[in-house]
Amino acid sequence: MPELVESGEADIGFIEGPRLSRVMSTKQVAEDRLVVVVDPAHPWARRREPLSARELSRAPLVLRESGSGTRQTLDRALYLAGCERVRPLVDLGSTAAVRGAVIAGTGPSVLSELAVRGDIAEGRLIGVDVEGVDLTRDLRAVWPTGRRLVGPAAELVTVARRAVAGERRGRG
């Protein structure tokens, strides 16, 4: 959490999403993609063609709360695609809560591919293609400006970047 880093309670944090305090230094450690997911019984699970950005923006979605990195990324992507902001079916406070609601059939959502990869692979969730909107985002390490990353904090950033690089090589 950036607040813990700003207050000095944590040496380093990890964030996603476009907004960042000016008092933070950052280093990208990974790139993530948001994906539209539905339960297997949802009508979108059987779509043959991708959703349009406009269809996505007009659908009632199960979403993270306003201000979350996931929500900021979605809102910004839809804005850049010339669409309205989504009107949530329900706002929930964690990715786990949103994921559970989608699995239970509450409605579609947009979540981190990293968070739902296993659910998609095991068939609990279905990924739905979307065209006309860029749902990628950077995952970044953050720390107070003016400080150098040293010791365990620096090692953690190095480990995170290597893990992502190794995963990319494994997929290619």
pLDDT in tens, 10-60: 888 888 755 565 667 888 888 889 999 999 999 999 999 999 999 999 999
The span from the CA of 15 to the CA of 139, in Å, is 6
Cα Rg of the chain, angstroms? 17
Q: pLDDT (tens digit, 9 = 90+) per residue, 60-90?
A: 999 999 888 899 899 999 999 999 989 899 9
The span from the CA of 77 to the CA of 75, in Å, is 6
141: helix, strand or coil: strand
Quick check: pTM over 0.75?
yes
For residue 50, give every residue at least 6 positions away whose Cβ sits within 8 Å of its Cβ, in sequence order, or none: 128, 129, 130, 131
Per the listing, tokens 């995952």 go with 139
